[in-house]
Structure 1
Amino acid sequence: MVEGGMNVRRIFGTAWVCLAGAGLWAAQKLPDDLRRLTPESLGARPAGEIQRQAEEAYRARDYVESARAYAELLRRRPNAPLALYNLSCCYALLGAADKAGLFLEAAFAAGLEDLALPDRDPDFDGVRGAPSFQASLKSARERAAQREPKEGRRIEFPARAMERMTVLEPEGYDPARAYPLVIGLHGAGSSPEEFAPFFGPAFRKAGVLFCTPQGQYPVAVAAERPIGYLWFEAEAGTDRRVPRPASRKLAEEYVTAVLEAVKTTHKVDMDRVYLMGFSQGAFLAYSAGIRGGGAFRGVIPIGGWLTPGDFSPQEISAARASEFLVCHSPQDQGIPMAECETSVEFLRKGGVPVSLFTYEGGHVISPPLVRKITDWISETSRR
């Protein structure tokens, strides 16, 4: 190779560099990192993977690792307002008031719209009184207020739209026959196309209709998989897993609409309808399942959580007509096992029939989990 007056030759596995015109030779051994280098290894980590790492570390209260992950994400997307805001939260939780203020100011400069969000967010409680943080917050609001008239005010309102779902039919499907139905709710950032293959083959063999609707809120996940979907938008100032009340209500109504839509295209055994969800979908399965008043024969939350204070005694009483199979992995770093146990205990105290199945592997869907759920559906369908 000839580049810029430099000749490079390789002799017996050692790189010899000749500086043309200088008559100098230098022997350099090939380091291990360069020896292992391949074209494939040059690619950066997907942004979605970094985002998940940041969120999981935050939920595990490992704010140092969460901050590092958000910093890595921001090197890929320097002006992402939510990543800047979340990095500010991490610094605040670590007691670094000046850094928290600095990145909060950057978040507003990048387009964060909710001027009152830092006031509601408990992440900033430890630094709220620090002069440096107050100065940054004041500056951020002044800049955001100046920008607002030019860009307009964001207003949200509910509206109906055409949605889509995928329905997998059992082997040997007979349109004249009524079948058990499982409505499967994918996790945050996923889609029906990603979720259905985990359960589809087993459910088809078990003689079950399997419907996988699509979440209502598109979200950018990663360059190689640009769009995923959410079931609800999070309430500002929370741990990012608490849905906004209006968004949650719409999601619950959406589940009901899915059931009604399937009934128009397939014969459904209404005594054997199951609601299943993974992660954020599990939260919605809990919520719609409890508020369904016995509409579902069984409810199957996987790797999810519920908030006990969200439900009235009347709703819990009506939920006793459904049976719950709660599935969780003790290795789950996204949703700790303790939250699952709290959910199960809440249901038991309310007199709701509930079983707990634990499996290995973390925040994933594993083959043993699929077998357990398939067997449980078959068993309860025969009762």
Structure 2
Amino acid sequence: MKTLFRISLAAAMTLCTPFLQAADELDADKIAFQALSPVVSALLNADDVPELMERAEKLEDTDTLQAIAVYLAASREDPKQVLAPYQVAALFARRGDDKLALRYLQEADDRGLWFGPLLAEDEDFSELRNTATYKSVLASAQERYKKIAVGKVGAISVLNPPAGIPAPQACRPVVVWLHGYGINGELDESDQPLADTGAIILGINGTEMLNATNSFRWIGPGFEGTQKAVQNGLKELEAQQCIDRKQVYLMGFSQGSQHAGALLAQHPDDYAGALLVSPGGRQPTPTVSKARGKRVFVINGKEEGPGNQQMTVDFLKLFSEGNEVKSRTHEGGHFYPDDWKTSFPQALLWLMDREA
């Protein structure tokens, strides 16, 4: 990291020169220290490129020039890093420096920029969309995305109940897990308490990748893309083992929770109930539900934001007619409650009419 530090400190000094020229009446050393200290701290304390990226992201909220300096450090330390020059381009565009923005956007493209859908909607580049460089980079990124997304978007992960839990005479029930924005449907041993209910847990990656191959979201407009992904995932699972199609339950968190609730409301013949944890998202919540005779459990945190609080209210109202609805508010915010390893399985057992 020594070479990295020398290069990046020089870059930071160059970027921060305007601060030194802006106020001659102030002590130049003090101004330099104030401008450079967050950058120097990031460079000295980061162990690797991922940590540099994390520190740069945090600096974006306070000073874009400082963030640019650290992103440049990460970019130079790892010549294969795509996101670092992309973020530099976005920050320069945000500052109105079109020339440097396009330069680093092209550098990201030269390194294999692939997250075309994200680039297409990135408002930082709104003033550059008619330039030849932006159009060329976007076209290349969209083509790369098509190839990289294959086998990742909509991919499933399966967690089976322990062998000691006897299977019912019919096939096992299934809980379909819809993840939140920016994560994925990969299941691991930490999710085992959910499968201890006797249900097969089916995780599904979202319908679009973001800027990493393990980061997904559920895209609109509407919820039909998610419905297709869930049904495809169930078909793939059904080809592997026997499942009870009349006992398919939805469980989601945040954006995945909103989509889970919408699927139950709009496609009630496909699902038996839903556990909605901290519903959130930017799409409008459905105002009409076809669901009748279903069980719905809604959980949210007392410290959730106003939008998430309202979405919880909206879903409770949406399913209030003709369904059995429960709700719980825990003391935390937009995350799992501390007792989720017991409370979530209990909620699932209630959905399946098999309370412990």
For this structure pair, what is the TM-score category when the shorter chain's length is used for normalisation? 0.5 to 0.7
Give the equivalent residue in structure 2 for 1:181: 174
Kindly indicate whether residue 244 of structure 2 is the aligned counterpart of residue 268 of structure 1: yes
1:376 maps to amino acid: A
Other structure's SS at 2:290 match:
helix
Matches within 5 A, 1:1-383: 44-45=47-48, 47=50, 64=64, 70=71, 73-78=74-79, 80-93=81-94, 100-112=101-113, 121-124=122-125, 128=127, 138=131, 140-141=133-134, 156=146, 164-169=156-161, 171-174=164-167, 176-177=169-170, 179-186=172-179, 188-190=182-184, 192=186, 195-201=187-193, 203-204=195-196, 207-215=197-205, 228=214, 230=216, 243=219, 249-260=224-235, 262=237, 265-266=241-242, 268=244, 270=246, 272-278=247-253, 281-282=256-257, 284-293=259-268, 295-303=270-278, 305-309=280-284, 311=286, 313=287, 316-319=288-291, 322-329=294-301, 337-352=305-320, 353=325, 355-360=327-332, 363=335, 365=336, 367-382=338-353
Instruction: Please identify which structure carries the higher helix content.
Output: 2
CA distance in 2, matches of 1:287, 1:52: 34
CA deviation after TM superposition for structure 1 residue 355, in Å: 2.8
Q: 1:310 Cα deviation (Å)?
A: 6.9
Contact 1:293 1:318 in 2 (8 A): yes
Q: State the one-letter code of the partner of 2:232.
A: A
Map Cα deviations across residues 308-349 of structure 1 (whole Å, 9 max, x no partner): 4374x5xx3224654544444567xxxx63332232233245
2:67 and 2:278 map into 1 onto residues whose CA distance is: 21
SS in 1 for 2:201: strand
Question: Distance between the aligned counterparts of 2:312 and 2:350, measured in 1?
Answer: 21
Give 3-state SS (helix, strand or coil) of 2:270's partner. Answer: coil
Cα–Cα, structure 1 residues 212 and 196, in superposed 2: closer, same or farther, change >3 Å?
A: farther
Q: How many residues align?
A: 300
Separation in 1, partners of 2:259, 2:77: 32
Query: Which residue type is aligned with residue 201 of structure 2?
Result: C
- Structure 2: any 5+ residue segments left out of the alignment? 1-43
Gaps of 5+ in 1: 1-40, 222-226, 233-242
Aligned in 2, Cα 1:213/1:103: closer, same or farther, shift over 3 Å? same
Pair 87,292 (structure 1): closer, same or farther in 2 beyond 3 Å: farther
CA contact (8 A) 1:286 1:306 kept: no
C-alpha separation between the residues in 1 aligned to 2:238 and 2:116?
45
Residue 30 of structure 1: aligned partner: none
Alignment match, 1:9 = none
Q: Point out the structure with the larger strand share.
A: 1
- State the alpha-carbon separation in 2 of the partners of residues 256 and 375 from structure 1: 26
**Code of the aligned partner of 1:103:** Y
Counterpart contact for 1:283–1:304, Cα < 8 Å: yes
Percent identity (aligned):
17
Contact 2:299–2:330 under 8 Å retained in 1? yes
In 2, Cα distance between equivalents of 1:77 and 1:319: 52
Do the aligned partners of residues 92 and 349 (structure 1) sit closer, same or farther apart at CA in structure 2, a change above 3 Å counting? farther
Q: Which amino acid aligns with 1:257?
A: N
Asked if the contact 1:203–1:210 (Cα under 8 Å) also holds between the matched residues in 2, the reply is yes
Q: Provide the C-alpha distance between the structure 1 equivalents of 2:103 and 2:233, rounded to a whole number of angstroms.
A: 45
The alignment partner of 2:205 has SS state of: coil
| CA spacing shift, 1:301–1:317, aligned 2, 3 Å | closer
Contact persistence 1:326–1:354 (CA under 8 A): yes
How much does 1:50 deviate?
Answer: 6.4
- Computing the radius of gyration from Cα coordinates, the structure with the larger value is 1
